[in-house]
Amino acid sequence: MIASERKQAFLKKVERVGAYRAIRNLMAEAADALNCRNIGRSRACLVQDESLWIEFADEGRFYGSEAVDELLAYLFSDAPGNAVRLDLMLTTPIVEIAGDGKTAQGVWWCPVPMTIREAVGKEQAVWAWGTIAADFLRCGTEWKIWHLHYFRVFKCRYADGWVDDLSMINRLNLPALPHSQPLSYHNPYSPLSVRDGIPAAPRPYESYTDSAWMTETRKDR
């Protein structure tokens, strides 16, 4: 009996290690697809049903496949102010696999140097820094990104830096996209902002309940 229990515990640990590796590779694939401006590869990294959502900085939250497709089409477009080249980098991964093995949670810090097109023939070097928090769902033998929140810390002209260039802190008007829903959280750097440690690193958990962990602060820090 003891030997059987030890075997099951060992197999569960092996499965969790495999899940951790798969999720890190999935996020790397999603980042590479974004950098290469490949919308098909980006979409393939995501859950394919209406439980999917993405909240992106100050653009809003996008619920369901149609809304997420609208967001991706906008981000990959050549609209003024969008990146024509970017190099999203994922750092400091913190991943927790649920005890039941069906879901996972993860956080990554993300420096992003980019080139944006301000107008025809005029490009600007910009850099941004933010954090990605995500829920992952096991779909058969694969893992997919289920919910994703990109928290922007700063975005500014590279030549000026985030202290002097505050022009990109917040969208100056209504969201550009029809499917955009109200934000749950947006607190970028500014002289008046207070850093509150959101998102915190995910903690061990048994099974998925909701995505509230993304906007909770750690009480033990």
Rounded Cα distance between 56 and 132, Å, is 9
Q: Where are the beta strands (DSSP E) in the chain?
A: 53-56, 60-63, 83-86, 91-97, 103-119, 122-139, 142-157
More confident residue, 12 or 209: 209
Looking at residue 1, its pLDDT comes to 56
Cα–Cα distances (Å) from 124 to 59, 74, 114, in that order, read: 21, 19, 8
Work out the pLDDT band at 170, boundaries 50, 70, 90. confident
Alpha-carbon dihedral 79, 67, 22, 131, rounded to 10 degrees = 60
pLDDT at residue 144, as a whole number = 98
**Which structural domains are found in the chain, ordered by start?**
2-215 (3.10.450.50)
pLDDT at residue 174 greater than cutoff 80: no
Going by pLDDT thresholds of 50, 70 and 90, the confidence category of residue 137 is: very high
Across residues 108-117, what is the average pLDDT? Answer: 94
- The stretch 203-216 carries a mean pLDDT of 95
Look up tokens 């059987």; give the residue: 4
Give residue 220's pLDDT: 54
What confidence score (pLDDT) does residue 126 get?
Answer: 94
208: pLDDT strictly greater than 90 = yes
Mean of the pLDDT values across residues 77-91? Answer: 86
Take residue 125 and report the two structure tokens written for it. Answer: 């070097």
Q: What is the pLDDT of residue 109?
A: 96
Alpha carbon distance 183, 179 (integer Å) = 12
Asked if residue 95 has pLDDT above 70, the reply is yes
pLDDT band at 175 (very low <50, low <70, confident <90, very high): low
Cβ proximity of 150 and 107 under 8 Å: no
pLDDT(193) > 60 = yes
Task: Give the residue-averaged pLDDT of 131-153.
Answer: 97
- The mean predicted confidence, pLDDT, of the chain is 90
> How far, in Å, CA of 52 to CA of 17, rounded?
25
> In this predicted structure, which of 31-40, 51-60, 78-87, 210-219 has the lowest mean pLDDT?
78-87
Instruction: Give this prediction's pTM.
Output: 0.92
